[in-house]
Amino acid sequence: MPKVCVLGSGIIGLASAECLANAGFDVVVVARDLPGDAGGLSWASPSAGAVIYPTHSPEAESQTFEKETFQHFWALAHQDPTSGAQVLPVTEFFQEYHEDMQAWYMKVNPHYRHLRADELPHGVKVGVTVTTIAVNPIIYLPYLQRKLEEQGATFVRFEAHSLEHVLRMTGADVLVNATGLGAKKLCNDDAVVPIRGQAMFLRNRPGWNQILLRQDAGYTYVIPRLGSGGVLFGGIRQEGNEGEAADPALRKDILERVNHLSRDAFADVNLETDVEDMVGFRPGRKGGYRLEIEGSNLIHAYGFDGVGYVCSFGAGRRVTEMVKQLTDLRSKL
């Protein structure tokens, strides 16, 4: 089979690599950061919330990606608990509710139910609960690397400065560019923008086993981390702020929002001693993600912002279709 190089080992790169390996391609993953490394500021995948939950996108392609990805992780969580994927209830709160926002996926996630008025936090008008999957990236990314290596894929640590150089270095027939924020320089793509996120990790709270989420006003999430005994609190989304240090003022704001949604379940948290700050930059892109063929041997798959995990295996399958298209064409020449 043709050789395919996946440049980037974030969730989009690794999901694409697994889909390609499952299709029989010879896969090499080249990346500056590899699974098991601590998440850097510009490498968001290890510190992502990683809840496989719909985004309310009206785009048909995104909906397809999200459905396929949910089905993938749903099966994984039931088949292999060592993967870092777990089944959990998620409750989402809305300031205003529009039925068409959820019409497409309420049939996908099981146990969909509207909350009663007495189940809502003060000032929140609508809430729904479903069952979904949460992934602990610290467990899952190395798991996926091991799985790929068992299938014959290889991993190379290398910081790329040129797509053409990586193609020559690996001898690949096709290059999949899944470099996230790195695509800004590698592709001269000024549409790529870092989206700053700030969150906190609460240690030693093993009894918390549900996800709370608010994606409209007051963007907030509460996510238990499988295998860690801790809980991830967030969050902040800021475009244009490239500060690398955690803002102490935001810590209090995040905790207040978390306690509002959880009805003071974390009122005892001491921000000075109990939590660890987490700051990172999601790979945003003005105009949406780039998923397309360029020329005869290059596929771009980057700019997924905060929906990398949610779209990962749907996007990976689309990448595989594109690789087949290019390699079939080359074989006919």
Print the SS3 string covering 117-178: HHHCCCCCCEEEEEEEEEECHHHHHHHHHHHHHHCCCEEEECCCCCHHHHHHHHCCCEEEEC
Using the Cα atoms of residue 86, residue 89, residue 92 and residue 98 in order, give the sign of their dihedral.
positive
CA max distance for the chain:
68
132 labelled ligand-binding: no
User: Are 141 and 14 contacting, i.e. CB atoms less than 8 angstroms apart?
Assistant: yes
Residue 170 assigned as binding residue = no
Instruction: Enter the DSSP assignment of 101.
Output: G
The sign one gets for the Cα dihedral 35, 40, 42, 47 is positive
Nearest to 28 by CA among 20, 40, 37: 20
Residue 273 counted as an annotated binding residue? no
* Tokens at 201, concatenated: 């990790």
CA 180 and chain centroid, separation? 12
Annotated binding residue 243: no
Annotated binding-site residue numbers: 179, 221, 282, 306
Binding annotation for FAD: 179
Binding region for D-dopa: 221, 282, 306
